[in-house]
């Protein structure tokens, strides 16, 4: 079976968040399951392409109309199998040759052109896949165009699968841009529409042969809270599944991770984590003798980053000098400002790095004692699984994938601290419980080790995806 994943991100070629980690890992595990899994993403002009470390061969040249504009495009294949699967990049000069993945005024046009280029390439390719697996709204018009695009009728038989990584983002645009979409039978327009706009995510939910979310709990939550798509998801319920993400245990392995100061395994966990914490604290001028809480992620409301300063601040006022907090992330200007304020107020105990830094994130998972994940919405979440693998105890709000992967240390075999309401008060209480746990060294170490022993590998999910495809072919 041949699967083609179509995505906006893929680690290590282009990463903004967990979507990249998933698309960079799942195909490797699908290959182990006996499938041939390939990935195609845009050819951004970022460090991956500019580093000169990877070699590419040109496998296709074509052209596409985006409304009245003609664009030439190239498809490049990474030629040394460096990612562990066939990896393709679509280069559209003038649209996709940007340093960043998202954030441009013409993102709608950029990702529309990407999808059209993929379809144009596929329609001429000798190796048409058995399954086209689309990820999130950036690739959401593909299932519709495969079925109803006049030019692509030769591919109607190929099943399209949609994975919803985050239903908050739907990629809507106005009907005035309809002329950008390749021609189709106009009486099918309703399949593009949701609430009076063209909605790529809604269209994919309607047209994909199967849809899935990245955890079972998130699938259930979407039926009553999906940023306006609840009714649609209930209608399409029969083709929906929840498949829990895994983590790439080759990339995320504390005993071999080249980004760490000191590698460690379960046997030398205490020593190894201490050495990593020491180095991290030196860099941020924090006292390594104190428990260290970290947050890594997008500084946005969905991640609950906004109420961290208040919750942490309250504990710091109650017990001055009892712990340190270190934040890595970027996002909403207001939340970045709140973090900087917290640093000013608790100078010796609060470190902040505004920006994206892959190496630092690995060092934080390794050096921290606790990871804060107070998400309001969390379709799966990978950070909590990385944290456990690196012997760091996650403090999570019980929602979506966090609920499916972390049990409270008060329960048998528990590996984290769970709380329920996304408020500073509940998080403050959870931090208090974590500090008590830290005080009981034996229990604290036992829970860290139990976390390291959890199996969050991709094997199970890879098999579930294979079953899902098999049901379609
Ligand atoms: P999401 O995709 O919603 O942002 P996930 O938990 O699925 O959340 O994945 C986030 C991924 O992005 C993890 O690999 C995390 O380590 C990484 N990450 C997030 N923010 C940063 C940052 N500022 N620097 C480095 N890595 C980051
Ligand atoms: C999205 C979600 C996150 C999930 C990731 C990978 O970015 O916000 O929860 O882990 O996709 O599926």
Q: What is the pLDDT of residues 206-221, one digit of tens each?
A: 999 999 999 999 999 9
Which residue among 9, 10, 18 is best mutated to probe the pocket of ligand 1, counting the most ligand atoms within 8 A of its Cβ? 18
Q: Which segments of 208-307 does DSSP mark as H helices, in order? A: 216-222, 230-235, 269-284
Cβ contact 107:135 at 8 Å? no
441 and 468 share a domain? Answer: no
Q: Residue 251 class from Cβ within 10 Å (0-12 exposed, 13-18 middle, 19+ buried)?
A: middle
- For residues 217 and 381, give the distance between their C-alpha atoms in angstroms, rounded to a whole number: 12
57 occurs within a structural domain: yes
Cβ of 297 below 6 Å from ligand 2 = no
pLDDT band per the 50, 70, 90 thresholds, residue 127? confident
Nearest CA to ligand 1 atom 14: 18
User: Position of tokens 């080249």?
Assistant: 258
C-alpha 445 to ligand 1 mean position (Å)? 26
C-alpha 210 to ligand 1 mean position (Å)? 27
Quick check: 441 pLDDT over 90?
A: no
C-alpha 367 to ligand 2 mean position (Å)? 23
23 occurs within a structural domain: yes
The two structure tokens encoding residue 232: 């649609």
C-alpha 380 to ligand 2 mean position (Å)? 5
264 occurs within a structural domain: no
C-alpha 385 to ligand 1 mean position (Å)? 12
76 occurs within a structural domain: yes
Ligand nearest to the CA of 400: 2
383 and 238 share a domain? Answer: no
251 occurs within a structural domain: no
Torsion of Cα atoms, 113 then 114 then 119 then 125, to 10°: 130
Q: Which domain holds residue 322?
A: 269-452
What secondary structure letter does DSSP report for 157?
A: T
Cβ contact 396:402 at 8 Å? yes
The ligand 1 atom at the shortest distance from the C-alpha of residue 329 is: 23
288 and 214 share a domain? Answer: no
C-alpha 402 to ligand 2 mean position (Å)? 11
pLDDT computed for residue 347 by the predictor: 85
Nearest CA to ligand 2 atom 7: 18
236 and 273 share a domain? Answer: no
Domain count, the chain: 2
Average pLDDT for 340-356: 96
304 and 410 share a domain? Answer: yes
Cβ of 298 below 6 Å from ligand 2 = no
pLDDT band per the 50, 70, 90 thresholds, residue 126? confident
197 and 274 share a domain? Answer: no
Cβ contact 191:117 at 8 Å? no
Cβ of 402 below 6 Å from ligand 2 = no
Quick check: 8 pLDDT over 90?
A: yes
Please write the tens of the pLDDT for every residue from 177-209: 999 999 998 999 999 999 999 999 999 999 999
Cβ of 380 below 6 Å from ligand 2 = yes
166 occurs within a structural domain: yes
Please write the tens of the pLDDT for every residue from 247-287: 999 999 999 999 999 999 999 999 999 999 999 999 999 99
C-alpha 387 to ligand 1 mean position (Å)? 12
252 occurs within a structural domain: no
154 and 292 share a domain? Answer: no
220 and 281 share a domain? Answer: no
Percent of the chain with pLDDT over 90: 97
What CATH number corresponds to the domain at position 104? 3.40.50.2000
Average pLDDT for 153-168: 97
The two structure tokens encoding residue 346: 């608790």
pTM: 0.96
- For residues 428 and 411, give the distance between their C-alpha atoms in angstroms, rounded to a whole number: 20
Ligand nearest to the CA of 326: 1
C-alpha 231 to ligand 2 mean position (Å)? 22
Quick check: 353 pLDDT over 90?
A: yes
273 occurs within a structural domain: yes
89 and 146 share a domain? Answer: yes
Cβ contact 473:159 at 8 Å? yes
Ligand nearest to the CA of 356: 1
């Amino acid at each position: 079976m041949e699967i083609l994943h179509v995505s906006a991100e893929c680690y290590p070629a282009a990463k903004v968040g967990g979507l990249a980690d998933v698309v960079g890992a799942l195909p490797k595990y699908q290959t182990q399951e006996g499938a041939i899994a390939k990935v195609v993403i845009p050819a951004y002009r970022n460090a991956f392409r500019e580093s000169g470390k990877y070699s590419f061969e040109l496998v296709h040249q074509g052209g596409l109309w985006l409304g009245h504009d003609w664009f030439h495009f190239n498809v490049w294949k990474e030629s040394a199998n460096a990612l562990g699967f066939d990896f393709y990049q679509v280069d559209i000069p003038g649209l996709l040759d940007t340093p960043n993945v998202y954030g441009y005024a013409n993102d709608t046009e950029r990702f529309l052109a990407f999808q059209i280029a993929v379809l144009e390439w596929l329609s001429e390719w000798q190796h048409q896949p058995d399954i086209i697996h689309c990820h999130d709204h950036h690739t959401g018009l593909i299932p519709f165009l495969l079925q109803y695009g006049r030019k692509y009728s030769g591919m109607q038989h190929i099943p399209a699968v949609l994975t919803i990584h985050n239903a908050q983002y739907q990629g809507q645009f106005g009907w005035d841009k309809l002329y950008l979409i390749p021609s189709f039978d106009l009486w099918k327009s309703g399949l593009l529409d949701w609430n009076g706009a063209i909605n790529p995510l809604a269209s994919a939910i309607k047209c994909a042969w199967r849809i899935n979310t990245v955890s079972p709990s998130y699938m259930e939550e979407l039926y009553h809270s999906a940023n306006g798509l609840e009714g649609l998801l209930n209608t399409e319920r029969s083709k929906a599944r929840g498949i829990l993400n895994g983590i790439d245990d080759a990339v995320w392995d504390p005993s071999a991770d080249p980004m760490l100061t000191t590698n460690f395994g379960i046997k030398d966990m205490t020593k190894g984590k201490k050495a990593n914490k020491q180095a991290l604290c030196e860099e941020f001028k924090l006292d390594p003798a104190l428990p260290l809480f970290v947050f890594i992620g997008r500084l946005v409301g969905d991640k609950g980053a906004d109420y961290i300063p208040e919750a942490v601040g309250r504990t710091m006022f109650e017990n001055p000098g009892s712990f340190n907090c270190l934040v890595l992330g970027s996002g909403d200007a207001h939340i970045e400002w709140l973090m900087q304020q917290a640093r000013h107020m608790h100078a010796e105990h609060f470190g902040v790095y505004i920006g994206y830094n892959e190496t630092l994130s690995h060092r934080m998972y390794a050096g921290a004692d606790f990871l804060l994940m107070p998400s309001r919405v969390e379709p799966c979440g990978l950070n909590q699984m990385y944290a456990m693998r690196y012997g760091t105890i996650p403090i999570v709000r019980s929602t979506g994938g966090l609920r499916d992967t972390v049990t409270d240390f008060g329960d048998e075999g528990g590996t984290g601290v769970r709380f329920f309401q996304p408020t500073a008060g509940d998080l403050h209480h959870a931090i208090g419980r974590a500090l008590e746990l830290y005080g009981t060294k034996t229990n604290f170490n036992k829970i860290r080790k139990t976390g390291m022993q959890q199996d969050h590998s991709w094997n199970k999910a890879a098999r579930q995806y294979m079953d899902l495809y098999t049901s379609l072919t």
